[in-house]
Chain A
Amino acid sequence: MADLPDAAACYELLARMALIRRFEEEAGRQYQRARAGGFLHLAIGEEATIVGTTSVMRDEDFLIGTYRTHGHAIARGTEPKRVMAELFGRVDGTSGGRGGSMHIFDAEKRFMGGYGIVGGNLPIAAGIALASQYKGEDAVTVCMFGDGASNTGNFGETMNLAALWKLPVLFLVENNLYGMGTSVERHSAQTDLSKKAEGYGIPGERIDGMDVAEVREGVAEGIRLAREEQRPTLLEAFTYRYRGHSAADPEVYREREEVEEWREKDPIEGFAQRCMEADVLGEREVRQARDAAEEAVKAAVEFAEASPEPPLDTMYENLYAQTEPGGWYAVDERSPEPHRGEDEAQMPDAARELAEAGAAYAGQPSGERPNPATHGDAQEGVEPRVSAEREVDEESEDAPGERAINDGDGD
């Protein structure tokens, strides 16, 4: 068993994991309230893998992840309130409401996203690492992705390129045993994912992703290899998500007992117990960590609720970096008189009215949304009999903006 760090570090690990757990629970609740929309992928159960990893990274290192990365951003130091505001689609969100749950980003904390395409972040990680090396900087890039991504072409292509070019990158597969609803035995011919490293001549290791101390040890060594020897590693962390793939997951593919079994290995409970048994932390500190998380998440929801919706005339902002604009970059065709998208802030009154008319279809969310997973109506890939949106807002029943709740990706 990996050694515990000192008391202050243990408290920080516990507090950070508790914060992410509480944040994710609240995000799920806010999704039920229809404050958060789209797809919501929660990482409850995976906190040790996340926090163990970020706790041994330097500020200058880069982290890049997938669409299940609220916790990753928070672990890197992004304020929970800004992540919550992004889930709410508000201007104070990490991406100003442009990205949503799947596209969290925080340049300042070197959290490089937040990507909705399975495996899409892998080559980008190689590029970030290449740039650090090219500029003679010390930074290492840590790339986290799911077991499902290890089957994509990007995985093979990027492992090969990173190994060939000796890039300072660590690949960490968060193996939560399911690519969406397909178990690893059913989606990967080689179920020991760490062995996939062999074909590229790089080290591959399996670690217990439920044990934050072990994650720290494994990741620290991977980062050391990347930083000192410019050698990529593939780490496979065994972890588990207690909740469904997304909030719209009926979980027909696994037994309740399996979830219960993993809950017994809960990374936060287990770590708190161990710290108390070793007299590193007392009950008071454990309670303090939970209370702090509770408070931060409560403040996050208040902040997100108070944050305004993005103004409609900012629709085209940040689509292009324009230093010396010439020609038409974007053409806005939402009204009979087309105008340059980049002139949206000065759009004619008629166009503004039409934009408002479109935005009105968003409606005013009210009431609780039934969990399609527990409600038993929804199946992934199957239109539920009663869509969540309809239950939420009957007035918008036939609105063009009606939200699909079926997911179509895998991790």
Chain B
Amino acid sequence: MAELRMREALRDAMAEEMRRDEAVFVIGEDVAVFEGAFKVTEGLLEEFGERRVRDTPISENTIVGTGVGAAMNGLRPIVELMTVNFSLLALDQIVNHAAAIPYMFNGQAKVPMVIRMPGGGGHQLGPTHSHSFEALYLQVPGLLVACPSTPADGKALLKAAIRDDNPVVFIEHESLYGARGEVPEGDGENGGGPLRFGQAAVRREGSDVTIVGVLKMAHVAESAAGQLAEEHSVEAEVIDPRTLRPLDLDTILASVRKTNRAVIVEEGWPHGGVGANLATLITEQAFDYLDAPVQRVTGADVHMPYSKRLEQAAIPHEEHVVSAALATLEGAR
């Protein structure tokens, strides 16, 4: 075990996969000489050279499209987009091409590529650099969506994403890049290797309410669960889905059938969000087990404001999660 920051864990995943497989290469804006806007690709140019670590012009749709073509012709590109907001410039290639090609050509072509993009608020980057588009990508059939919250998961999921034959939208959280955590070394079965997609992590076991937290909100959910235990004698079970496609719905449903209550926490917008989707799936498949309406905690329904106070007020915090969890328990205690 080594203690690494998220950005180092992600870098290690890329470097190890690049050493393992010549077909893996990295392209993106300022990924080579500048070593990434968030320094995630630090050291890669030095080790792998310009052929495999390529700075691109600022042309998001073409960067992704180039990745699509390269993937169709046998390579495994890792495309870095500087923020999730910039990925909107590449939506045509992501949705109409990367996601559609395997299906619309009936399996004659594969698109094994990873599109990495950081999102999320907390750094006062304002309305065009800090959104949360998990729900947007989750909606698209043909894409896989990963959203790691710990350095260990970041490394293991990125390795799995690189080895996967499907196009993966890999969403990182800007304010988790510096977060530290234990990361298993090596590439073995017992750690350090890839983590299969579609396996949620139960971060804390509990019997009173299930809290599902996505990306940074997995940490907020965990810390809220601590408060619930200490201050309200409520034992919350905290689940980090880790990937939204495929979704480990079975683990979430099993937990809800045990606790009979659910809260979903995400940073994205409420309409049509991750929580809206999950709440529906839970309601459809575990309605008889629910003792209270499913609660959602989401980001505010606005474009991320710049002002520090407004920004923090727009992002979910522990208090919101605690309050939502208590709402599901109202009258029960």
A130–B250 Cα distance when bound, in Å, is: 41
Residue from A127, A320, A330 within 8 A of B102 (CB atoms): A320
A-chain residues with CB within 8 Å of residue B43 when the two chains form the complex: none
What's the minimum C-beta distance from A153 to chain B, rounded to whole angstroms? 7
A-chain residues with CB within 8 Å of residue B166 when the two chains form the complex: 320-321
Residue from B63, B104, B112, B164 within 8 A of A95 (CB atoms): B104
B-chain residues with CB within 8 Å of residue A128 when the two chains form the complex: 69-70, 72-73
- Is B281 an interface residue, CB under 8 A from the partner? yes
What's the minimum C-beta distance from A136 to chain B, rounded to whole angstroms? 11
> In the complex, are the beta carbons of B65 and A123 less than 8 A apart?
yes
A94–B249 Cα distance when bound, in Å, is: 35
> In the complex, are the beta carbons of A160 and B57 less than 8 A apart?
yes
Given contacts A318-B102, A321-B102, A326-B199, contact A158 B65 (CB under 8 A): yes
Segment at the B interface, from A96-104, A271-279, A287-295, A375-383: A96-104
> In the complex, are the beta carbons of A117 and B62 less than 8 A apart?
no
> In the complex, are the beta carbons of A134 and B75 less than 8 A apart?
yes
- Is B185 an interface residue, CB under 8 A from the partner? no
A-chain residues with CB within 8 Å of residue B51 when the two chains form the complex: 134
In the complex formed, the residue of A with least CB distance to B75 is A131
- Is B137 an interface residue, CB under 8 A from the partner? no
Task: Mark each residue of chain B from 70 to 108: 1 if its CB lies under 8 Å from any CB of chain A, else 0.
Answer: 111111010000000000000011001100011111111
A-chain residues with CB within 8 Å of residue B63 when the two chains form the complex: 123
> In the complex, are the beta carbons of B246 and A338 less than 8 A apart?
no
> In the complex, are the beta carbons of B105 and A98 less than 8 A apart?
yes
- Is A189 an interface residue, CB under 8 A from the partner? no
> In the complex, are the beta carbons of B103 and A338 less than 8 A apart?
no
- Is A145 an interface residue, CB under 8 A from the partner? no
In the complex formed, the residue of B with least CB distance to A135 is B74
> In the complex, are the beta carbons of B246 and A122 less than 8 A apart?
no
A125–B284 Cα distance when bound, in Å, is: 44
Given contacts A161-B59, A328-B198, A338-B285, contact A112 B66 (CB under 8 A): no
- Is B247 an interface residue, CB under 8 A from the partner? yes
> In the complex, are the beta carbons of A124 and B197 less than 8 A apart?
no
Contact residues, A131-187 vs B (CB, 8 A): 131-132, 134-135, 153-154, 157-158, 160-161, 164-165
Interface centre among A94, A123, A324 (most CB of B within 10 A): A123
Residue from A107, A135, A161 within 8 A of B66 (CB atoms): A161
Residue from A115, A126, A127, A328 within 8 A of B249 (CB atoms): A328
> In the complex, are the beta carbons of B96 and A120 less than 8 A apart?
yes
- Is A62 an interface residue, CB under 8 A from the partner? yes
> In the complex, are the beta carbons of B57 and A106 less than 8 A apart?
no
- Is A247 an interface residue, CB under 8 A from the partner? no
- Is A327 an interface residue, CB under 8 A from the partner? yes
Residue from A94, A98, A122 within 8 A of B103 (CB atoms): A98
In the complex formed, the residue of B with least CB distance to A106 is B108
In the complex formed, the residue of A with least CB distance to B196 is A326
> In the complex, are the beta carbons of B199 and A321 less than 8 A apart?
no
A331–B61 Cα distance when bound, in Å, is: 28
> In the complex, are the beta carbons of A327 and B103 less than 8 A apart?
no
- Is A253 an interface residue, CB under 8 A from the partner? no
> In the complex, are the beta carbons of B102 and A126 less than 8 A apart?
no
Interface centre among B56, B70, B166 (most CB of A within 10 A): B70
Residue from A105, A114, A327 within 8 A of B199 (CB atoms): A327
Q: How many residues of A contact B (CB 8 A)?
A: 54
Name the prevailing secondary structure of the B interface residues: mixed
A-chain residues with CB within 8 Å of residue B170 when the two chains form the complex: none
Given contacts A123-B66, A124-B97, contact A323 B74 (CB under 8 A): no
In the complex formed, the residue of B with least CB distance to A329 is B246
In the complex formed, the residue of A with least CB distance to B111 is A321
Contact residues, B164-189 vs A (CB, 8 A): 164-166
- Is A319 an interface residue, CB under 8 A from the partner? yes
A-chain residues with CB within 8 Å of residue B75 when the two chains form the complex: 130-131, 134-135
- Is B248 an interface residue, CB under 8 A from the partner? yes
Given contacts A131-B74, A326-B196, A327-B249, contact A107 B108 (CB under 8 A): yes
Given contacts A326-B196, A326-B198, A327-B248, contact A103 B68 (CB under 8 A): no
> In the complex, are the beta carbons of A161 and B56 less than 8 A apart?
yes
> In the complex, are the beta carbons of A124 and B248 less than 8 A apart?
no
Residue from B65, B104, B165 within 8 A of A323 (CB atoms): B165
- Is B64 an interface residue, CB under 8 A from the partner? yes
- Is B141 an interface residue, CB under 8 A from the partner? yes
What's the minimum C-beta distance from B228 to chain A, rounded to whole angstroms? 27
In the complex formed, the residue of B with least CB distance to A127 is B69
- Is B130 an interface residue, CB under 8 A from the partner? no
- Is B136 an interface residue, CB under 8 A from the partner? no
> In the complex, are the beta carbons of A127 and B105 less than 8 A apart?
no
> In the complex, are the beta carbons of A117 and B248 less than 8 A apart?
no
- Is A402 an interface residue, CB under 8 A from the partner? no
> In the complex, are the beta carbons of B73 and A325 less than 8 A apart?
no
> In the complex, are the beta carbons of A131 and B59 less than 8 A apart?
no
Given contacts A124-B65, A127-B72, A131-B73, contact A107 B104 (CB under 8 A): no
Contact residues, A17-71 vs B (CB, 8 A): 62
- Is A129 an interface residue, CB under 8 A from the partner? yes
Binding site for B on A (CB under 8 A): 62, 94-96, 98-99, 103, 105-107, 112-117, 120, 122-132, 134-135, 153-154, 157-158, 160-161, 164-165, 317-321, 323-331, 338, 341
Beyond A124-B69, A329-B144, 16 additional contacts (C-beta under 8 Å) are: A99-B104, A123-B63, A123-B68, A124-B72, A127-B70, A130-B69, A131-B72, A131-B73, A132-B73, A157-B59, A158-B66, A164-B57, A319-B102, A323-B165, A326-B246, A327-B250
